[in-house]
Structure 1
């Protein structure tokens, strides 16, 4: 059994804004774009959440739920700087740190000698140190496996922690709603509910072959998680699997010609991002994403061993067929990256050159 800690900062972006601008404290605030420009909420204070405001919600909708909501523009440079401070604290306790985002990470403290090797005390110490250095609060989950540590960090928010010991795993997962398992979203939850599965105990009683037939590879994951099994190790050097960019449009668009006016800039931004963060990686697919004005979205992808501008245009045309009269509010393009690195930088540079020459 390992000793895994999942640290999750409390309403991170909003908390930094309230720290730096005390007049915002205690008020419903959200970090996001302006409502008249189709902005989207990045995160919000707990006061805003009481009105139903949530991350990824449109700013317009958020203001309908909470008319007194204060919209604050993001300051990504500040958020990244503070994230660096927090990661420095993590590494004082272990080198086995797996960042998930600016405000969230797994830590394996199995071999740590700090606080007599107690993961519970280490989590407390990390949270105290984060507050002392940054003035921000964090919540923590402690468990022998990753997915339970992540679930636990959400059970005593904000500014708290929850511990699941090895001998508590069986009882804990038995009554655990399947919707709490990372990777089980609304669509999957509904499909599971349609066949009578709502808790991990339900999955334990369900024929494994039927579950795998219905959900494929993810069926295996559900079976393991429902039994309290997660053999994934902490990955200090996570390998990027994709690179993408997207834009939320100021107004809905409806035609292929209008989409064509947006696509070149997106591809150019993607090219720059690939050169910065994935220059030595091999491409294995291209993807186009559309979000419609009813907030439903679709993606079309094609396997590819090099980046082709023409493929993005073809995928866009295919994706637009699924609009069925709905307006387009967001367009995104991305590439998938193979697990292995390119044989040499020249091969990767050749792919990038092909993309750059399209402009």
Structure 2
């Protein structure tokens, strides 16, 4: 254990929704929900305004609409999220060579490697305040919550204490004072099933857990889980901050507050994860042969299943199809608390049209028809001339300039013409096949158009 508070955890607040509010002035201060917008869609991120109505991630879009019908439901724009993430990670890496990204919006930073004059509480607090200011500056106003402590566990707990836009430093020696009053679910790995087992044993807080012997926890929860829980209940966590290494696999997973029992919802979540994995593969110029799903059941049993194909692929439809098929063989009747999709056996080439189809020729399993990438233009067939106008996607009109899709249907697309720099703009309804209206993508430094998630990497 470190004797100084030198591990920093940064978490961008309601990241996807915050980027949408930044770029869409008319949505600032209003409820925004990003994710699948179809009947079987799943919420990816909800703004804090939407969370006041009980909307949360992994909730079905149907339920989110019933709780907050006046929210803006957007399919999302991964290119914008990726750009903002890269800006933030660059700020962190300029501070320390040891940065461990956990996702697009979250990372650990080892301040002990930052060359600071000292690691006193006032010094690291000043560093954190400067980082948060720099993040807001480079991203155009996004906020981040930061926690600093003597370990990854403590830093992560601290970053959740004062959201949004908060900063909490836990001084060395104050770890247990912080943890003891907290509910046991603050400890990583303590989900609903474990919480219930502990409750039956009269264990509700970290203070209750602290006095339980390791042997008793092992008998109650198993060797690995019991040992790990015993350490964290005593604030013992010596995991190092590990910077990015050579990629051997690409994966996405999520842990859910409430055990999942709906198979359609699980299939929809795997489909979304498969698409995010495919985007990351393409962004790195990679493809893979082995698709793996990771499923953690209600009793904390973790199961992995894999399927290997003949040639590498980066197609979301292929990864999704294999992942959902692997799920079908598992018994999930007791509930699932974690789902993940990964691709390994990586190569820097792909076999085109592996199954004789392109991604857009195949409907994804679970009909998650408006995942984070659904705003990309249709490429199904060489003669395709129409576009899929998904809510939230960026567009440009030859006369009215740039804007975003408010909604579409019955041959009409409604666009609000505004950008982050213009202020709230006018709303216009146009024919869906209006040749003056086109999807908009930012240009990369070399002048090429930045691809979004559906656009194939060749």
TM-score scaled by length of structure 2: 0.59
Quick check: 1:189 aligned with 2:191?
Answer: no
231, 243, 254: which is aligned to 2:238? 231
Shift of 1:270: 7.9
Secondary structure of 2:64's aligned partner: helix
Structure 1 unaligned residues grouped into runs of 5+ = 247-251, 292-297, 325-331, 343-347
Quick check: 1:167 aligned with 2:170?
Answer: no
Are the counterparts in 2 of residues 300 and 318 from structure 1 also a CA contact under 8 Å? no
Output the CA distance in 1 between the equivalents of 2:294 and 2:101. 27
Shift of 1:47: 1.0
Shift of 1:175: 2.1
**Using a 3 Å threshold, how does the CA distance of structure 1 residues 63 and 198 change in structure 2: closer, same or farther?**
same
Output the CA distance in 2 between the equivalents of 1:193 and 1:38. 34
Shift of 1:120: 1.2
**Using a 3 Å threshold, how does the CA distance of structure 1 residues 71 and 107 change in structure 2: closer, same or farther?**
same
Are the counterparts in 1 of residues 17 and 47 from structure 2 also a CA contact under 8 Å? yes
Instruction: Give the corresponding residue for 1:96.
Output: 98
CA deviations on 1:259-314 (whole Å, 9 max, x unpaired) are 9xxx9xx999989977986979996x9448799xxxxxx9864478x5589x9798
Shift of 1:61: 0.3
Shift of 1:41: 1.2
222, 228, 247: which is aligned to 2:229? 222
Shift of 1:115: 7.2
Please provide the CA RMSD for this pair.
4.1
128, 131, 140: which is aligned to 2:136? 131
Listed as ranges, the matches of 1:108-147 within 5 Å are 108-114=110-116, 117=119, 118-134=123-139, 135-147=141-153
Are the counterparts in 2 of residues 245 and 269 from structure 1 also a CA contact under 8 Å? no
Output the CA distance in 1 between the equivalents of 2:174 and 2:131. 24
301, 318, 326: which is aligned to 2:329? 318
Shift of 1:82: 0.8
Shift of 1:242: 5.9
Output the CA distance in 2 between the equivalents of 1:99 and 1:282. 25
Listed as ranges, the matches of 1:1-359 within 5 Å are 1=2, 2=4, 3-34=6-37, 36-114=38-116, 117=119, 118-134=123-139, 135-213=141-219, 214-237=221-244, 243=251, 286-287=292-293, 301-302=304-305, 315=326, 318-319=329-330, 334=341
Q: Higher relative contact order by CA 8 Å / sep ≥ 6: 1 or 2?
A: 2
Structure 2 unaligned residues grouped into runs of 5+ = 255-261, 311-317, 358-458
Output the CA distance in 2 between the equivalents of 1:174 and 1:290. 27
Are the counterparts in 2 of residues 140 and 161 from structure 1 also a CA contact under 8 Å? yes
Task: Compare 135-144 and 37-46 and name the one that shifted more.
Answer: 37-46
Shift of 1:184: 1.8
Shift of 1:176: 2.5
**Using a 3 Å threshold, how does the CA distance of structure 1 residues 46 and 303 change in structure 2: closer, same or farther?**
closer
CA deviations on 1:331-357 (whole Å, 9 max, x unpaired) are x984576xxxx8xxxxx67xx98xx58
**Using a 3 Å threshold, how does the CA distance of structure 1 residues 105 and 271 change in structure 2: closer, same or farther?**
closer
CA deviations on 1:1-38 (whole Å, 9 max, x unpaired) are 2501100111111111111111101111111222x432
Shift of 1:42: 1.2
CA deviations on 1:24-67 (whole Å, 9 max, x unpaired) are 01111111222x43211111111111100111111110111112
**Using a 3 Å threshold, how does the CA distance of structure 1 residues 64 and 288 change in structure 2: closer, same or farther?**
same
Work out the number of aligned pairs and report it.
Answer: 317
Structure number with the higher helix fraction is 1
**Using a 3 Å threshold, how does the CA distance of structure 1 residues 37 and 20 change in structure 2: closer, same or farther?**
same
Output the CA distance in 1 between the equivalents of 2:253 and 2:28. 33
